[in-house]
Amino acid sequence: MAGLEELDAELTVLGELLGPAEDDALVSECHAELGALAPRLSGLRAQVPPLHDEREAIVVVGSDAQEAESWAEELACRYAGRAERGGRSVRVYTRGHSWFGPRATVMRIGGAGAFGWLAAEAGVHRCDRAADRPVLEAWVEVLPMAVSYDFVRIPDEEVRVEDFPETWGCGARLPDWNRSVRLTHLPTGLVAFCQGQGSTTRNRAGAMTLLQALLLRLRHAADDPPEENRTQGSQAGNETGEGMKRRLESDQT
């Protein structure tokens, strides 16, 4: 950011002048210059994007009722379609598999700004298609991707790794080098599952990406007060399975 570099250079010059300055007039002039820089600093802060808005996103779409499963799948397809039409990459880590949660689809949406684009979608989505049929409900969670400077470190001894055979649609098993992977973070109990990436190694990498995003959300939930979490629209990024179900039930009561 050019404005930030110019501001830093001016502050450096003023600091060098103030250090050995003994002339009261010079000191007063430097303080006046510092006061004049304050509005410019506020303007630069306004240009900084909200937290994580520039990152890629993990989107989780699921339902806690079997009759709403088709609505959750349709919602996930809508997000994937919108992303692809916008030139973003879409990678499905798991679709409707119970290892992550009840009937959940997990996708990675690529491209800069994906999280900011989708963050407002987090929450419960309802579908009322007919007056004589129950309202269908699906929940959506949007997680920012963890990056290197988040320092989300996961030692090998803190993770339990399990792999499972994958099958074709007809039920035939895929080769042993292409197995689904489930990672369990032992200190927190968080679970990440990935399948369908073409090999066990890629499935493990996808599960690790998801686990890091969950741990990052858990860290932010611990740092923020509950009131702030609620205003952000979603506080379940660190929950899986039954945890999400309990949250949804409490929202309905």
104 bridge partner residues: 62, 97
> Closest by alpha carbon to 194, among 238, 155, 162?
162
Q: pLDDT tens digit string along 33-64?
A: 777 777 777 666 555 556 788 899 999 998 88
- pLDDT at residue number 82: 93
144 bridge partner residues: 57
pLDDT at 3 over 70: no
- pLDDT at residue number 246: 40
211 bridge partner residues: none
SS3 106: strand
- pLDDT at residue number 180: 86
In the structure, what pLDDT confidence band is assigned to residue 251 with cuts at 50, 70 and 90? very low
In the structure, what pLDDT confidence band is assigned to residue 102 with cuts at 50, 70 and 90? very low
Spatial separation of the C-alpha atoms in residues 188 and 238, rounded to whole Å: 9
What is the mean predicted confidence (pLDDT) over 144-170?
84
Taking all residues of the chain, what is their mean pLDDT, rounded to a whole number?
Answer: 77
The answer to which of 33-37, 79-83, 223-227, 240-244 has the lowest mean pLDDT is 240-244
- pLDDT at residue number 228: 41
Residue keyed to tokens 């419960």 = 124
Spatial separation of the C-alpha atoms in residues 196 and 93, rounded to whole Å: 7
What is the mean predicted confidence (pLDDT) over 119-132?
84
In the structure, what pLDDT confidence band is assigned to residue 26 with cuts at 50, 70 and 90? confident
Q: pTM value?
A: 0.66
Judged by phi (left if over 0) then psi (alpha if -120 to 50, else beta), residue 36 lies in alpha
pLDDT at 104 over 50: yes
> Closest by alpha carbon to 115, among 148, 83, 87?
83
pLDDT at 84 over 70: yes
% the chain with pLDDT above 90: 32
Is 68:138 a contact under the CB 8 Å cutoff? yes
- pLDDT at residue number 225: 54
Tokens of 206: 């996808």
DSSP assigned state of 121: G
- pLDDT at residue number 53: 86
SS3 154: coil
Integer CA distances (angstroms), 166 to 54, 105, 178, in order: 34, 17, 7
In the structure, what pLDDT confidence band is assigned to residue 167 with cuts at 50, 70 and 90? low
Looking at per-residue pLDDT, the higher value among 7 and 141 belongs to 141
- pLDDT at residue number 150: 82
Q: pLDDT tens digit string along 190-235?
A: 999 988 888 889 999 999 999 999 999 898 888 765 544 433 433 3
Phi and psi torsions of 173, nearest 5°:
-75, 145
In the structure, what pLDDT confidence band is assigned to residue 111 with cuts at 50, 70 and 90? very high
Residue keyed to tokens 């741990």 = 215
